[in-house]
Structure 1
Amino acid sequence: MVTPGQLLFDHHSHDLRGTRAGSGSLAVHTLGTRMEDFIAWANHEAAARGLAHEIIPPAPHGRLGTERFRRSLAWHIARRPGGLVALAIQYGHLRTSVAAGYAARSRDGIHDLFDVETARATIDTVADLNAALEDGLGVSGPAARRAIKAAASAAQFTGTVISARQARQLLANPHLAVYDNPHALLMCVCKRDKALCHRGLKDVPSLDQWVPACANIARTDQHAAGLRRRATSLEQQAGHVPGPLGERLRGNATRLRELADAHHRTRISLQDGTE
């Protein structure tokens, strides 16, 4: 949408008049107008193509506005792999004592927004895991039984509207600390005293710094299948690069297949995990 290195709504790319100097994004009023224009355009296109199910319904609380658009962006960002970190960066907020010093952001509700979306993403993770377990999914790893136990609590939260206060309570519940990262092909069922990925005052695990020996790791059948696909891709790459690099890629592929084999040897199911 914009030149690399610029803001998502950089005024150089989106200001049609192009008369404003300096850096920065579009003004709040302009953004609100653009969103309403986009909704009108999208609905016109959907109606013209007979796609009634794609029409954006009227907002029950009036115009969309930048605040509600921010919440929509937060919802989608938080549910991407590594999205909670990206959400913290996007909204200039980290759930630490340092961030608490930004009084303006606190008044604007950014702390509540982050907590609510983190809690919702966590509930979605355990709900998806619970549904997959009921369909026969297998789980392996030192935290497999804790993952199954956490998934069993999903039903009481599914479909509920979460307030900021409820979100803080959910995030404080150690039995719901389940984080999935498809890129890392693992799931972290976090117990702070067992985590090897970080030290210090962090509230959430660093899924991009996972340690193979960590006691919080769990893998599902889906993760194991992903390991095999990635191994196949590495082997294909190895055939097109110089010898030493090719050997390294083939070695990584072998290691990934060994992890997948170990999963299938040790996996447990929902019935096993509740015994």
Structure 2
Amino acid sequence: MRHLSVACFIVLAYLTGLRPGEVMGLESGCCPEPPSPSRHLIYGRVFKGVHDQDGNHYSAGQVREVPWVAIPPVVAAIRVLERLTPQGLLFDSAVHAIPRGRISTGQVVGFEAMHNRIEGFIEWASDLALGLDRPHEVIPDDPFGALGVARFRRSLAWHIARRPGGLVALAIQYGHMRTSMSAGYAARGRGGIHELLDIEAAGATASTLATLHDDLAAGTGISGPAARRAIHAAAQAPTFVGSIRTHRQARDILANPALTVYDNPHSLLMCVYNRDRALCHRRDVTDAPSLDRCQPSCANIARTDRHADELLQRAQTLEKQAASEAVPGPLADRLTRRAGHLRSLADRHNHDRINSQEPTA
């Protein structure tokens, strides 16, 4: 039961963006069934920045004006917790104590206790993976120390900002990149996780430009209609790499149209975003690209030698799949055509490539 409740906490903390205290403050019934097939919403309390009329911090918090969005894994975790604690706080310390049977005190499991339980859960999960002969599912040691309860939100922001297309469910549910969230999750406020998203998005931009700057300095070629704009952007990388520590610094970088360069590993290209030229937005024009909808004829595309090599590697993989006897003929033909298209993109890059030493005027 202890491991089950910890697993529920991890799901809630990682896939909602709630702060640890906000997760702990959730109560049974916080996520009602919607009247029609639509998104589930979580109604809870916020505690940060809440003060009474005298200006003192109000420890009881206040009901959040805008509810959080709940995706299916989060709803499932809440339903499990509601079976464990049908009334009151979902993480009531008495209900989640071992052994069970104590009367609820209205107090939640403490941060230190949950911290220790998370470490115990990691050890238990890894032992179970080894016992089931699944060593690839062992949870590795964290180089930054114990996981604790406060790092889930930052990890979520990292995935949304740096993994377009979504390696976690939230990147699909809430959109791709930072600005897509302004129309959905917590739309009425820029605080909280929006600040983390901006910092992570700015960090991703800085990392992309720093890598591009180093590659170009080493003689890497670049091609595409946005190649020269990418070279200009990369030239500014040394001025801000490593300097992003505050939300204001992040917003300054994200607001600079000359630095809007996004790496898209899924499509094997870079987007040097200019919203007036973007083909990923058919109706609404936003200040960030939809990298899951990259169009091959877009004027914002650039590719480096690294992208060209990855195109060839992916083409080889598809050709091996097509040559397998287990692959049906129509599917093999489709894979072969796709591989040929990837090779043509790599050939075009090799033909059109330039480098930063060439004139950019």
TM-score of Structure 1 vs Structure 2, range by shorter chain = 0.7 to 0.9
Structure 1 residue 142: deviation in Å?
0.5
**Counterpart residue identity of residue 114, structure 2:** R
**Counterpart residue identity of residue 169, structure 1:** D
Counterparts in 2 of 1:127 and 1:273: CA distance versus 1, 3 Å: farther
Structure 1 residue 31: deviation in Å?
6.5
Give the secondary structure class of the aligned counterpart of 2:297. Answer: coil
* Partner residue in 2 for 1:115: 198
Give, in whole Å, the separation in 1 of the partners of 2:279 and 2:286: 12
Structure 1 residue 153: deviation in Å?
0.6
After TM superposition, the structure 1 = structure 2 runs for residues 4-43 of structure 1, keeping only pairs within 5 Å, are 6-7=73-74, 10=77, 19-21=84-86, 29=109, 33-38=113-118
Give the secondary structure class of the aligned counterpart of 1:183. Answer: coil
Structure 1 residue 203: deviation in Å?
2.2
* Partner residue in 2 for 1:243: 329
Counterparts in 2 of 1:26 and 1:210: CA distance versus 1, 3 Å: farther
* Partner residue in 2 for 1:269: 355
Counterparts in 2 of 1:226 and 1:232: CA distance versus 1, 3 Å: same
After TM superposition, the structure 1 = structure 2 runs for residues 83-162 of structure 1, keeping only pairs within 5 Å, are 95=180, 98-99=183-184, 102-103=187-188, 106-107=190-191, 109-162=192-245
Contact 1:139 1:218 in 2 (8 A): yes
* Partner residue in 2 for 1:228: 312
Contact 1:140 1:220 in 2 (8 A): yes
Deviates more, 1:237-246 or 1:192-201: 237-246
Counterparts in 2 of 1:177 and 1:56: CA distance versus 1, 3 Å: closer
After TM superposition, the structure 1 = structure 2 runs for residues 214-225 of structure 1, keeping only pairs within 5 Å, are 214-225=298-309
Deviates more, 1:226-235 or 1:202-211: 202-211
Deviations 1:147-170 (A, max 9, x none): 111111110111113322222221
Give, in whole Å, the separation in 2 of the partners of 1:82 and 1:38: 29
**Counterpart residue identity of residue 248, structure 1:** R
Structure 1 residue 76: deviation in Å?
4.8
After TM superposition, the structure 1 = structure 2 runs for residues 72-87 of structure 1, keeping only pairs within 5 Å, are 72-82=155-165
Contact 1:78 1:84 in 2 (8 A): no
Contact 2:210 2:241 in 1 (8 A): yes
After TM superposition, the structure 1 = structure 2 runs for residues 145-224 of structure 1, keeping only pairs within 5 Å, are 145-199=228-282, 200-224=284-308
Among all aligned residue pairs of Structure 1 and Structure 2, give the percentage whose two residues are the same amino acid: 49
Give, in whole Å, the separation in 2 of the partners of 1:127 and 1:140: 18
Give, in whole Å, the separation in 2 of the partners of 1:223 and 1:42: 37
Structure 1 residue 10: deviation in Å?
3.1
Give the secondary structure class of the aligned counterpart of 1:187. Answer: strand
Per chain length, whose mean CA-contact separation is higher, i.e. which structure has more relative contact order (CA < 8 Å, sep 6+)? 1
Cα root mean square deviation, aligned: 4.0
Give the secondary structure class of the aligned counterpart of 1:78. Answer: helix
Structure 1 residue 78: deviation in Å?
2.7
Tell me how many residue pairs correspond in the alignment.
257
Contact 1:190 1:205 in 2 (8 A): yes
Counterparts in 2 of 1:102 and 1:204: CA distance versus 1, 3 Å: closer
Structure 1 residue 138: deviation in Å?
1.1
Give the secondary structure class of the aligned counterpart of 1:260. Answer: helix
- Higher normalized helix content (fraction of residues): 1
Contact 1:147 1:218 in 2 (8 A): yes
Counterparts in 2 of 1:156 and 1:226: CA distance versus 1, 3 Å: same
Deviates more, 1:158-167 or 1:123-132: 158-167
Give, in whole Å, the separation in 1 of the partners of 2:205 and 2:193: 18
Deviations 1:28-51 (A, max 9, x none): 8466633355569989xxxxxxxx
Give, in whole Å, the separation in 1 of the partners of 2:285 and 2:167: 17
Counterparts in 2 of 1:132 and 1:83: CA distance versus 1, 3 Å: farther
Contact 2:202 2:250 in 1 (8 A): yes
Deviations 1:115-169 (A, max 9, x none): 2221111111111111121222111101111111111111011111332222222
Deviations 1:50-86 (A, max 9, x none): xxx966459xxxx9543x5422442355333445996
